[in-house]
Amino acid sequence: MIDLSVKDLVKSFDADTNLLDGVSFDIQAGERVGLLGRNGAGKTTLFKILTGELDYNTGEVRFAPGRKVGLISQIPHYPAGYTVEDVLRTAFRELANIQSKMRRLEEQMAAQPDKALLAEYDALSTRFQTGGGYETDMQTDKICNGLGIPAAQRQQDFDSLSGGEKTRVNLARLLLEKTDILLLDEPTNHLDMHAVEWLEGYIEKFRGTVLTISHDRYFLDRVVTRIIELHDGKAEFYSGNYSFYVQEKQARFDLQLKQYEKEQAKLGQLGFTLERMKGWGINNRTLYRRAMSIQHRMERIEKTDRPTQEKTLRARFAQRDFFGDEVLSVKGLGKAYDGRTLFSDVELQVAGGERIALLGEKYNGWV
C-alpha cells in the first residue's frame, strides 16, 4: 500500500524560479526514507507542504486514507504556565477526552444506574483501552528516559527551557502521539549519543512510515533503506542507505561524465566535418547537401548535460611548533549552574599534537 504519493509538485516563491519543479515520488507503507539535498533545495518546504503548512502551485499530494501524519517543523506555542509534563500530555488529548466522558458517566450511573449509560461506558472503555489509555504513564516515562528528559525537568515551565530542550520535548510529544507517518526534520539535533541510539532503535521497531531529513550520515546509515535527493527542483532516487547513496551518486556522475565527453567528442568531429563541407560546398550542391545532413544530424543528437558535483570545503591548517609537551593543563576545575553541579575536580593534561574527542551525556557540562 502507498502511504504517500506526490505527483508533479511545483512550488515557487517568486515568478522566475521553481524551488520544486515537478517533484514526484511514492512511499510505501512501512518504508524508512531519507530526504537529502543541499541547503535551500526545498526539503523543509516539501515537509511543510506535506502537512498543509504551505500551499503549492500545481501538482498533487495524497496520503492513504485515515493515516495520521506527525511533524515538528517549529516549536509550537503553548499556554503560559504549561510545564513540560503538560506539553507531553497534549499527545493524549483524545484519550483524555474519552476518560473525561467516562468519569461523567460513572457519576451518572452512581446516581441512577441505566443500561444505555452502561453500554455507552463500555464502548468508551474499549476505545480507551485499545488506544493505550492505561499505558500513557509508562510510555511517557519510556520515551523521556530514552531522549534524556529527566524527571525534574518534566516539572519545569516549558517556556523556561532552552531551544534545544524544547526541541527534544516536542520530539517526545510527537513520538507519544502514535502517528502512522513520521516526518522528522533533523531529529538528532540536540540529542546526545545515547538518545540518538535510542531513537534509532525506536524507529527500527516503529510500525509506521518514516521520512526524515538529516545531515547525520551515521543515523541515515542505520535507519533508512531508501534515499530521495532533491536536486535542481527534481527528485532523484537511491535504493539503499546513505553509504549506498554516496557510492551510487559517484557512479552516476562518472557514467554521465563519460557519456558527456564521448558526446562532445562526436559533436566536435561532426562540427569539424560540417565546416569543411560548407566550405567545399559553396559551388558544389552535393557537398552542400551533405553539410546540411550533418547539421540536421547534430541537431537531432540528444544532448547530455555536463554533470556537476557540489563543492566541499577542504580546509588546511598550518602546522605549528609547540614549545614543550604540555599545551593545556586543568586542575581542580568545577562548574555549577542554577544550583546544580555540572562537574567538579576535573583534571586534564593535553600534549602538543594530540587529537581529543570530548564526549558525555547532553547537558552534563561537556559543552
Q: Is the pLDDT of residue 105 over 70?
A: yes
Q: Are residues 282 and 326 in the same domain?
A: no
Average pLDDT over residues 186-208: 93
At residue 364, the pLDDT reads 61
User: Could you tell me if residue 358 is inside a domain?
Assistant: yes
At residue 367, the pLDDT reads 56
Average pLDDT over residues 286-297: 83
Q: Are residues 295 and 331 in the same domain?
A: no
At residue 324, the pLDDT reads 54
At residue 43, the pLDDT reads 94
User: Could you tell me if residue 337 is inside a domain?
Assistant: yes
Q: Are residues 296 and 250 in the same domain?
A: yes
At residue 279, the pLDDT reads 81
User: Could you tell me if residue 334 is inside a domain?
Assistant: yes
Average pLDDT over residues 166-192: 92
pLDDT digits over 298-310, tens only? 888 777 777 777 6
CA proximity to 106, closest of 86, 128, 139: 128
pLDDT digits over 213-251, tens only? 999 999 999 999 999 999 999 999 999 999 999 999 999
Encoded amino acid at 106, one letter: E
At residue 20, the pLDDT reads 96
CA proximity to 27, closest of 11, 10, 6, 48: 6
At residue 116, the pLDDT reads 92
At residue 347, the pLDDT reads 85
CB 196 within 8 A of CB 174: no
The percentage of the chain sitting over the pLDDT mark of 90, rounded to a whole number, equals: 59
Lowest mean pLDDT among 28-32, 72-76, 137-141, 285-289: 72-76
User: Could you tell me if residue 181 is inside a domain?
Assistant: no
Q: How many domains does the chain have?
A: 2
Encoded amino acid at 352, one letter: G
Count of residues for the chain? 367
At residue 201, the pLDDT reads 96
User: Could you tell me if residue 1 is inside a domain?
Assistant: no
pLDDT digits over 311-364, tens only? 655 555 555 555 556 678 888 888 876 666 778 888 888 877 778 887 766 656
At residue 318, the pLDDT reads 56
pLDDT digits over 45-68, tens only? 999 999 888 999 999 999 999 999
Please give the span between the terminal C-alpha atoms of the chain, in angstroms, as a whole number.
45
DSSP H stretches of helix in 154-241: 163-176, 193-205, 217-223
Average pLDDT over residues 11-34: 94
The percentage of the chain sitting over the pLDDT mark of 70, rounded to a whole number, equals: 91
CA–CA separation, 223 and 213 (whole Å) = 12
CA–CA separation, 58 and 36 (whole Å) = 22
Average pLDDT over residues 26-32: 97
Average pLDDT over residues 175-190: 92
At residue 315, the pLDDT reads 53
Res. 22 pLDDT band, cuts 50 70 90: very high
Mean pLDDT of the chain: 88
pLDDT digits over 123-132, tens only? 999 999 999 9
Which carries the bigger pLDDT value, residue 266 or residue 5?
A: 5
User: Could you tell me if residue 281 is inside a domain?
Assistant: yes
Which carries the bigger pLDDT value, residue 117 or residue 297?
A: 117
CA–CA separation, 37 and 231 (whole Å) = 6
CB 291 within 8 A of CB 277: yes
Question: What does the angle CA 168 – CA 173 – CA 176 come to, to the nearest 5 degrees?
Answer: 130
**Enclosing domain of residue 326:** 322-367
Neighbours of 178 (CB within 10 A): 16
Q: Is the pLDDT of residue 269 over 90?
A: no
The strands making up 18-28's β-sheet, listed across from edge to edge, are: 18-28, 2-12, 58-63
Q: Name the DSSP class of 306.
A: P
pTM: 0.76
User: Could you tell me if residue 263 is inside a domain?
Assistant: yes
User: Could you tell me if residue 55 is inside a domain?
Assistant: no
At residue 225, the pLDDT reads 96
